[in-house]
Amino acid sequence: MIETILLALGLVLILEGLVYALAPSLIEELLKALQSLSIAQRRQIGILVLALGIVLIVMARQFR
């Protein structure tokens, strides 16, 4: 279990690092776009991403 958590965390950090390394100006644009959204819209996006993450985890566990 702990190895799966560490693997997932490592993959997230790799993806985050790639975005910052390859497109730092894109991060600034994304933050500006997020500021234009209401808190409710940001919360809905967060819930949607959370749900998508759970679905991907369940799918990955099915292939195991």
**Is pLDDT at 64 greater than 80 in this prediction?**
no
Establish if 62 belongs to a structural domain. yes
In a domain, 14, yes or no: no
Q: Residues 27, 20: contact at Cβ < 8 Å?
A: yes
- 64 part of a folded domain: yes
Residue 1 inside a domain? The answer is: no
User: What pLDDT score was predicted for residue 63?
Assistant: 86
Number of domains in the chain: 1
Which range marks the domain in which residue 44 is found? 24-64
How does 45-55 read in b/e, with b if 16+ C-beta sit within 10 Å?
A: eeeeeeeeeee
pTM as predicted: 0.70
46 within domain boundaries: yes
pLDDT in tens, 1-51: 788 889 889 999 999 999 989 998 988 999 999 999 999 999 999 999 999
Alpha-carbon gap, residue 61 to 44, rounded angstroms: 26
